[in-house]
Amino acid sequence: MKEAFTFHDVLLVPKRSSVRSRKDVDTSGRFSKNITLKCPVVSANMDTVTEARMAIAMARCGGLGIIHRFLTIEEEVAEVVKVKRAESVVIENPYTVGPEDSLEYARSLIERHEVGGLIVVDRERRVVGILSNRDMQFQTDGAVQIKRVMTKNPITAKVGTTPDEAEEILREKKIEKLPLVDGKGVLQGLITAKDIKAKRHRPEASKDKKGRLLGGAAVGGVGDFMERAAALLEGGADCLVVDVAHGHADHVIDAVKKLKKKFGSAELVAGNVATYEGARDLAAAGADGIKVGVGPGSICSTRIVSGSGVPQLSAVIECAKITKERGIPVIADGGIRDSGDITKALAAGASSVMLGSLLAGADESPGWTVVRGGTRYKVYRGMASLTATLSRKKKESTENLDPIEVAEVVPEGVESMAPYKGPVAEVVYQLQGGLRSGMSYSGARSLPEFWTKAEFVRISAAAWAESKPHALDK
């Protein structure tokens, strides 16, 4: 019988280092063959962790968010679209209204798409005005036509205007939105001051070639997964994650093959597995990234219920052989409790990590905030927990749940609470700071260097107790 270990069984041995400042450490790591993140941290595809708000915030920090799949196809696509439209150098299809539409309609569009204003176009899509919050703020009559309140004949620029030229115009004219038009005045795009500022202030953000934030989305391995995948890619998803608890299964391998065949150019991450054989088979099926972790998660009960799993550090070490062999990155998913565990997961060969509980308490996670004993928490639950399974069943049917159906559920996850943590950017900043520090203790300036230099030492329970702050222990 082999022995296997997890994060708290080991520490990294400090090495001679030439790194003077932690800022000199490049933490970049890959999520998939062609997606590199400056901060190799990904928010989990769970319904209490990642929808558009979290994915947007994660991409702004240099990480990535994967929208969960426990939504209708339309709902999941809508979350992806929000991420892809949150920022871009040129918004190619800005939301528009007609001059005769009502203010009420414009307000509903603004709310639904979470945008700051709309471009007003005539029937030929020629720009005739802009409707911003400033135009609407004291208007109480929802029936009023937009042409009565909009800013008429706004300043426009020719399609092809560069971001630098646009910035000059925005500054000089003291405006916030610059519609781009062709020779006939027909709307072709939009550049906003907000996006230009974001670009300058956040050079580390994860972006695509068009300057839009990166966002991924999950699909299953059975049922509507092909249709869902097509819709998500059409909506702009930068990668698909085939999310199945036991990814080393024939039907998952077949699903990966089918997806790769149909959507060859799309980045495809698949999981979860916990063995080299699992990683190898998914890679052979066409996966561009392998998600590793069977049962290590903070809300998982898979190992208790089923008796199956591999301690996460050993699982990552095993699976990461595929990175050496085929250049396919491994994502360590689950069981990460501190920044030190991120460092250890990467030292073990992972190229990025996926987090649930560490991010679930952030402002941007979906779901309820609860107060217990005067402390704020956010609800965090396993996707195979009883309540998550029942919510899913309820969504799929209009009828009340049959008690027999409820009794038949065998949960492999639990409902829990994550302490409230404020903005996720602050959480990620601390985690990335810890990672930089950890890499510098090993004398590494980059992930590939870290892989060659990192050395683990096994520790006892007493050594782990010594490792934690213990000044107040008596």
Please give the residue ranges that form the binding site for ligand XMP (CB under 6 A).
44, 46, 272, 293, 295, 297-300, 302, 333-336, 354-357, 382-385, 412-413
CA neighbours closer than 13 Å in the CB half-sphere of residue 188: 13
Element holding 191 (H helix, E strand): strand 187-192
By C-alpha distance, which of 20, 24, 70, 66 is closest to 352? 66
364-370: which pairs have CB atoms within 8 A and are 24 or more residues apart?
Answer: 364/53, 364/54, 364/56, 364/57, 364/423, 364/424, 365/48, 365/49, 365/50, 365/53, 365/54, 365/418, 365/424, 366/47, 366/48, 366/49, 366/50, 366/51, 366/53, 366/54, 367/47, 367/48, 369/420, 370/417
Please say which residue, 179 or 413, places its beta carbon nearer to ligand XMP: 413
Q: Give the residue carrying structure tokens 């996926």.
A: 354
* CA 257 to each of CA 34, 212, 221, 261: distance values in angstroms, whole numbers, following the listed order: 18, 29, 11, 6
Amino acid at 287: A
Q: Specify whether the CB–CB gap between 280 and 298 falls below 8 A.
A: no
Active site residue 61: no
Residues 27 and 19: their CA atoms lie apart, in Å, by 13
Please say which residue, 47 or 167, places its beta carbon nearer to ligand XMP: 47
Determine how many CB atoms are found less than 10 A away from the CB of residue 275: 16
Residue 354 CB, nearest approach to ligand XMP (Å): 5
Residue 430 CB, nearest approach to ligand XMP (Å): 16
Residue 147 CB, nearest approach to ligand XMP (Å): 50
Q: Specify whether the CB–CB gap between 233 and 240 falls below 8 A.
A: yes
Of 39, 61, 239, 300, which one is the catalytic site residue? 300
Please say which residue, 68 or 453, places its beta carbon nearer to ligand XMP: 68
Q: Specify whether the CB–CB gap between 328 and 322 falls below 8 A.
A: yes
Residues 87 and 428: their CA atoms lie apart, in Å, by 20
Roughly how many angstroms between the first and final C-alpha of the chain, as a whole number? Answer: 39
Q: Specify whether the CB–CB gap between 291 and 221 falls below 8 A.
A: no
Q: 23: Cβ–Cβ under 8 A, 6 or more apart, which residues?
A: 436
Residue 378 CB, nearest approach to ligand XMP (Å): 13
Residue 306 CB, nearest approach to ligand XMP (Å): 9
Q: Specify whether the CB–CB gap between 412 and 97 falls below 8 A.
A: no
Residue 272 CB, nearest approach to ligand XMP (Å): 6
- Token pair in block for residue 81: 């679209």
Residue 262 CB, nearest approach to ligand XMP (Å): 25
Q: How many residues does the chain have?
A: 474
Residues 250 and 229: their CA atoms lie apart, in Å, by 19
Please say which residue, 41 or 214, places its beta carbon nearer to ligand XMP: 41
Q: Report cis status (omega within 30 of 0) of the bond before 272.
A: yes
Please say which residue, 11 or 299, places its beta carbon nearer to ligand XMP: 299
Please say which residue, 181 or 252, places its beta carbon nearer to ligand XMP: 252
Q: 333: Cβ–Cβ under 8 A, 6 or more apart, which residues?
A: 44, 271, 272, 291, 292, 293, 296, 297, 353, 354
Please say which residue, 63 or 179, places its beta carbon nearer to ligand XMP: 63
Indicate which residues carry an active-site annotation. 300
